[in-house]
Amino acid sequence: MSSRRVQGTSNTLFSDASDSADTTQPATVDAAEATAESDCEDTADPDNTIDADLLESLAQDFNCCATVATDHGPPTSSGQPQSVRSPSPDPGPPPSVQSEHGNSDGQPRLIVDTFPHGSPGAPIPDVRQGSNVYQSSHELFGSSIWAPFRSQCDWEVVRWAKTRGPTSSALADLLAIPSVADNLGLSYRTPKELNDIIDKELPGCPPFKCQDLTIAGDTHQVYFRDTLQCIRSLYGNPEFARDLAFVPERHYVDHRRACCVYSEMHTGDWWWAVQTSLEAHRPGATVVPVIISSDKTQLTLFRGKTAYPVYLTIGNIPKDTRRKPSRRAQILVGYLPTTRLEMINNKAARRRALGNVFHLCMRNILAPIASYGETGIPMMSGDGVWRRCHPIFAVFVGDYPEQGLVMCTYFGQCPKCTVHRNNLGDYSTSPPRDYDEALESFRLADGDVLLFHAACREARLKPTFHPFWEALPLTDIFVSITPDILHQMLQGVMKHLIAWLTSAFGAVKIDVRCRSLPPNHHITTFVQGISTLSRVSGLEHKQMCKILLGLVLDLPLPSGEAPSRIIKTVRALLDFLYLAQLPSHTTDTLLRLEQSLSRFHDNKEVFIDLGIREHLNIPKVHSMMHYKSSITLFGTTDNYNTEQTERLHIDLAKDAYRATNHKDEYPQMTAWLERREKIQQHGTFVTWRQQAQQETVQDSKPNGPPKPVPRTIQMTRHPSRKAVSFDIIADKYRALDFQDALADFIARINHPQASATALRALAEDTLLPFRSVPVYHKIKFVSSHGSEIVDAVHVRPEQRDARGRVIPSRFDTVIVHGNAQVGALRNKGPRIAQVRVVFQLPSKVIHQVFLSPDIALPTHLAYVEWFSPIPTTPDSNDLYKVSRLTKNGRHLASVIPVDSLFSSVHLLPRFGPETSEWNTFSVLELCRSFYVNPFSNRDVFLLHL
């Protein structure tokens, strides 16, 4: 397979031109989201005494206290630090330690300032440093690569049995076949023997513990792991050793330091502030930011079984690693009870009891953090270096109900600030929630019940018996709540917006336009429309957002009123959504984020004026006010997106449940997870040994300002059609001027210095000594840093499948580098074109048509039809309009190197009154003018910035 690198281009596409889980939600808007729970306002309740007695019983049964198991080891120093409250994100004085990080793709050097005070992240002095963790395991298992198994075959059978899903019964049947175990040289004869080897001889993550919890006479189980040992496991994983962040940094675009860059968690202000607090009294601290996420998930569709997993990861690990399940950078630390406490008849008391049970379980799970957050504890990273680490609860990741449960706030309130529920739709800031006031309220839980409830009511918090975060050092739980792209934006604001647009314009008109949008690699074509969809997932809402603007552009309202305010609202929300998801932010992009939010609030009243909404006091709409502050504190939103949690449910809850007999499942689920983790970890170790003990992790580089992903064009080794005649190319591919365009290309190559007039004459005299060419039906764009396909261009005529059904033709549109344009088309900026044919010149005729044998010819060529130059300025909707270029009634076309293609591009047709014949496969032929869709994918969006 051959591949050729795409040439670089400016981040701004149009600046120099001359002329982009598992949870499902109903598609309809739930009105309950905009209203408060029935018991939002806390009042005196005769069942308060029930709550107090119940919680006292729970605390005794669960034996929950702020002590830590003795095997964690003592603190590194007997001195106790002073009490430290939640740190302020005040940046402090300008740092003095700096370095420069440049990129090979010509991007400006990134200025990096490291924390200047004390010795953060330094190894513990006078302590003998260890060796690589893999090296220690090497010494444990001896010289055999496959130990404790006998051979490669023995090991591969184990890995297949534990990672590919055969049941224990199926494996037992396989091993019971005569001579199978002997002929394969297996070290076990039954699944039980295999499990014993895994349990006793392979290292792995900390084991699960089970604790009984008695509630009103019913016993429930909580399964959890030693949190501190889980942190040790992540921190000490040799796969992450070279990429761990130990010191907070500030990144800048240039030496003026006027434009900050935020990406990884250690580039945010939170880490800097925590490091400042620790270095003031305990120099040499290494901060280990703990990220916790929790969410209930459904295990069965009809039996109603659910699981309540809690996940943990650390902010020292790069976010790209954390969000890949295959890297195992997130650990399941517990399964919480899923009981509904139906034995408690009073509904209000039942709700409070459920919240108290949650906090009781979480308090026990996170007790080690409370003990060692301030004092620190020695930990060894995967490269053998010991540091004094301070595990600090930094971020909680969850959807809105989960946030309210953690914050002890009422439904319909903001968990971060004190805005009134009737002002949630306003574009104004409110004071943040007072953490100290909350602590003072909850400390009254052990005293008079009525006084406790009154204090909580004053703080606008639910009366909760000692929330789990009450004893956590250096933590402000109201700051730790972070944005949630999946539930707040895709399944929240954008879901609402789609419903409002459908109400404003009518479902029929919206669906007709859905069926008339051209295809693209990044676009899902909703051929049946979107109004009839039910249980729409977050992924489907994400796809709808890519085409949403095209569905309403130039579409008049039923009253005949121009939809300009609606268009501005849609454009503002889409800009906000895409900006909020950028993998790196600068001061400038954060300003754009705020500007897009301001534009939304300037125009949002249109939905009230149209009678679609009575108000916009929706918590998820208000949540957009807090995105900027969270990004500056904790880095970009991909550090804490609930999409990662939803993906973990598949591997760590649903698959684990399927591996059980569905009876008393949790002991089986935890055992299955422990064994699979051990197999995966041992597989990584075996790979390390096979590679002659070479490190497989590459050095990570700081993320600069957001830019398109570097990419390489990749073509298949063999053409899709070995020989397609010129007549078929003209007829089936509709490349009517293919021969003339190819002759022009040959003339340009042979005479690069000739004038345009001379080239026309030379092209007319060029003879083509062949009548067919090999053609390709697909161009792939692969990430330069890996094998991931980031884009593709389809170029195929109408075909029939194996059952004789017609597959319509498809000729995608692309962005072409400015230096690939020819003749009168040449201008400074990129252009848009439609690809009709991708082909190669027959090798046997190359020497006949080109004058010099030393000419460097591109391997693959493309016949493209051009669109008009991209305007220098966008229209009132911040969109760029293009139209077909024609000459004498024929599309203006050229042959260009495939290497000159930058990416695919999606075009939104400019709909008019005569659009009834348009469909997704004919619209590019029938429509004359288009808008460039900035939301088809992130890279095209970045080019619009």
| Phi, psi for residue 796 in degrees, rounded to 5 | -145, 145
**Residue 90 pLDDT exceeds 70:** no
Kindly indicate the confidence band of residue 915, based on its pLDDT and cuts at 50, 70 and 90. Answer: low
Cα–Cα distances in angstroms (integers) from residue 70 to residues 73, 75, 172, 368, 489, in the given order: 6, 11, 40, 11, 44
Mean pLDDT across 721-729: 96
Q: Which helix (H) or strand (E) holds 388?
A: strand 386-397
Q: Is 836 helix (H, G, I), strand (E, B) or coil?
A: strand
Identify the pLDDT of residue 39: 42
Look at residue 869 and tell me if it is in a domain.
Answer: yes
Answer yes or no: is 561 within a domain: no
Split at pLDDT 50, 70, 90, the class of 101 is low
Do 197 and 215 lie in one domain? The reply is no
Whether the pLDDT of residue 934 is over 50: the answer is yes
pLDDT value, residue 102: 55
Between these two residues, 473 and 690, which has the higher pLDDT value? Answer: 473
Same domain for 257 and 190, yes or no, is: no
Per-residue model confidence as pLDDT tens digits over 768-803: 999 999 999 999 999 877 678 999 999 999 999 889
Query: Is the confidence at residue 233, as pLDDT, over 50?
Result: yes
pLDDT in tens, 142-160: 677 888 899 999 999 999 9
What average pLDDT does range 894-907 have in this prediction? 95
Distance, in Å, from the CA atom of 764 to the CA atom of 758, rounded to the nearest integer, reads 10
Q: Please indicate, yes or no, whether residues 224 and 191 belong to a single structural domain of this protein.
A: no
Of 201, 231, 262, the residue at which a domain comes to its end is: 201
Is residue 511 domain-resident? no
77, pLDDT greater than 50:
no
CA–centroid distance for 624 within its chain: 18
Q: Residues 213, 195: one domain?
A: no
d(CA 937, CA 929): 21
Does residue 686 sit within a domain?
no
Of the listed ranges 50-59, 354-363, 604-613, 687-696, the least confidently predicted one is 50-59
C-alpha R_g of the chain? 31
Mean pLDDT of the chain: 86
| Between residues 136 and 646, the one the model is more confident about | 646
- Looking at the structure, do residues 244 and 341 belong to the same domain, yes or no? yes
Chain segment 689-721, per-residue pLDDT in tens? 887 544 444 555 677 788 888 889 999 999 999
Highest-confidence segment of 62-71, 764-773, 844-853 = 764-773
Assess whether 334 and 234 both reside in one domain.
yes
Among the listed ranges 212-226, 501-515, 598-612, 909-923, which one has the minimum average pLDDT value? 909-923
Q: What is the pLDDT of residue 944?
A: 85
Is residue 671 included in any domain, yes or no? Answer: no
Q: Does residue 836 carry a pLDDT above 50?
A: yes
Q: What is the span of the domain harbouring residue 352?
A: 45-67+84-91+206-483+640-658
User: In this structure, are 724 and 784 located in the same domain?
Assistant: yes
What are the beta bridge partners of residue 806?
Answer: 800
pLDDT tens for each residue of 601-631: 999 999 999 999 999 999 999 999 999 999 9
Query: Distance (Å, rounded) from C-alpha 860 to C-alpha 776?
Result: 9
What is the C-alpha to C-alpha distance for residues 934 and 575, in angstroms, rounded to an integer? 9
CB 281 within 8 A of CB 81: yes
What is the phi/psi pair of residue 124, to 5°? Answer: -70, 125
Closest to 775 measured CA to CA, from 821, 811, 827, 822: 811
Same domain for 776 and 923, yes or no, is yes
Give the dihedral sign, CA 382/386/391/392.
negative
pLDDT at 700: 59
pLDDT confidence band for 746 (50 / 70 / 90): very high
Pairing of strands 772-776, 831-839: antiparallel
The first and second tokens of residue 722, run together, are 């070995």
Give the residue from 201, 219, 242 where a domain finishes: 201
Same domain, 649 and 774: no
Confidence band, pLDDT 50/70/90 cuts, at residue 560:
confident
In a domain, 521, yes or no: no
**The total number of structural domains that make up the chain:** 3
Q: What is the pLDDT of residue 735?
A: 96
Residue 677 has pLDDT above 90, yes or no: yes
- Write down the pLDDT at residue 46: 43
- The average pLDDT across 11-37 equals 40
Is 819 a domain residue? yes
Which segment of 57-61, 90-94, 601-605, 663-667 scores lowest on mean pLDDT? 90-94
Residue 109 confidence (pLDDT) above 80 = no
440-463 residue pLDDT tens: 999 999 999 999 999 999 999 999
Q: What is the pTM of this model?
A: 0.88
Are 790 and 893 within one domain?
A: yes
The pLDDT value given to residue 436: 95
Per-residue pLDDT reduced to its tens digit, 460-471? 999 999 999 999
Judgement on whether residues 170 and 253 belong to the same structural domain of the protein: no
Stretch 293-305: mean pLDDT: 89
User: At residue 83, does pLDDT exceed 60?
Assistant: no
Evaluate whether residue 140 is within a structural domain.
no
Average pLDDT over residues 541-556: 94
Of 67 and 808, which is predicted with more confidence? 808
pLDDT digits (tens, 9 = 90+) for 394-436: 999 999 999 999 999 999 999 999 999 999 999 999 999 999 9
The answer to whether residues 169 and 241 belong to one domain is: no
pLDDT band at 26 (very low <50, low <70, confident <90, very high): very low
DSSP-based three-state secondary structure for 245: coil
Mean pLDDT, rounded, for 912-934: 87
